[in-house]
Amino acid sequence: MKPSVRKTIIAGNWKMNMTPSAARAAVAETAALVAGQASCEVVLCVPFVDVPAAVEVARGTNVKIGAQNVHFEKKGAFTGEIAADMLLECGVEYVIVGHSERRQYFGETDETVNRRAKAALEAGLKVILCLGEVLSQRQAGITEEIVSLQTKLDLAGITAEQMKNVVIAYEPVWAIGTGLTATPEQAEEVCAFIRAVVRAGFGARAARGLPILYGGSVNPENADDFFLLPDVDGALVGGASLDPRKFFSILEESENNED
């Protein structure tokens, strides 16, 4: 059973989907569905250009808005990048860093992920740090080595105090967008392991308070397998978050497993 210090978080990652007008409608529909529920934190991580519309529609509702990336410098000649202060001023509360698609397609390394996480935390954003092994690493039996290294490198230099604003999303890369999911045993094993790595680096209190989400093809049919696990505190949902009703069904599964 989960300690009550950790709130369940159900976060959607829209990736490169939804124009601002589509975002407006989807946030409104999601907010209407989740109105009245208080037991979990609901976050939608939207494309940068959707942020103003999403924040406006989400204001006064249970939905919090996140972004999907942030640059590590405060400002300057970094064409195409977005700084943490810009996101904050637009009303963003959360930011994803280190998503596997950024690592795979955009040259993101543990060093740049770490710099982005630090910049976001220093500015006052909450960070959803994504990490996880690729299939060949799982098959080679080195999942724990990989996840341990990512956890240590990506969180290097972050203080125990700042850890209060960190969420880790364990996303096995082979399960993202593939329809494959980790088994509940695999998810629990790795999430408990990540918590142990955080305990060793930041202490028992930080580890106990750290929300760890599972991500990778979570949908309304399989979500409750994960919400029963003691070290899994919610989900990072890609594809299924684009449909507000599916996203809400996932959230309902998490509520069914409260207490």
Number of chain positions touching ligand PGA (CB under 6 A): 12
Catalytic residue from among 41, 93, 171, 188: 171
Among 216, 220, 234, 244, binds ligand PGA (CB under 6 A): 216
Give the nearer residue to ligand PGA in terms of CB position, either 66 or 238.
238
CB of 205 to ligand PGA, least distance (A): 28
- The yes or no reply on residue 114 touching ligand PGA (CB under 6 A) is no
Among 13, 30, 143, 254, binds ligand PGA (CB under 6 A): 13
Catalytic residue from among 93, 99, 101, 108: 99
Segment near ligand PGA (CB under 6 A), from 77-85, 183-191, 198-206, 214-222?
Answer: 214-222
Nearest CA among 208, 11, 173, 209 for reference residue 95 = 11
CB atoms near residue 4 (< 10 Å): 7
Active site residue 171: yes
Per-residue contact flags (x/-) with ligand PGA for residues 217 to 256, judged by CB under 6 A: xx-----------------xxxx-----------------
Quickly list DSSP for 175-227: GTTSS----HHHHHHHHHHHHHHHHHHH-HHHHHH--EEEESS--TTTHHHHH
CB of 36 to ligand PGA, least distance (A): 25
CB of 236 to ligand PGA, least distance (A): 5
Give the nearer residue to ligand PGA in terms of CB position, either 98 or 202.
98
Angstrom distance (rounded) from CA 101 to CA 216: 12
- The yes or no reply on residue 171 touching ligand PGA (CB under 6 A) is yes
**Would you call 22 exposed, middle or buried from its count of C-beta atoms within 10 A (0-12, 13-18, 19+)?**
middle
Return the ∠ at Cα 45 (arms to 92 and 130), rounded to 5°: 110
Max Cα-Cα span within the chain:
50
Active site residue 99: yes
Give the nearer residue to ligand PGA in terms of CB position, either 35 or 180.
180
- Closest residue to ligand PGA using C-beta atoms: 238
- The yes or no reply on residue 98 touching ligand PGA (CB under 6 A) is no
Catalytic positions? 99, 171
Which stretches of the chain bind ligand PGA, using CB under 6 A? Answer: 13, 171, 176-177, 215-218, 236-239
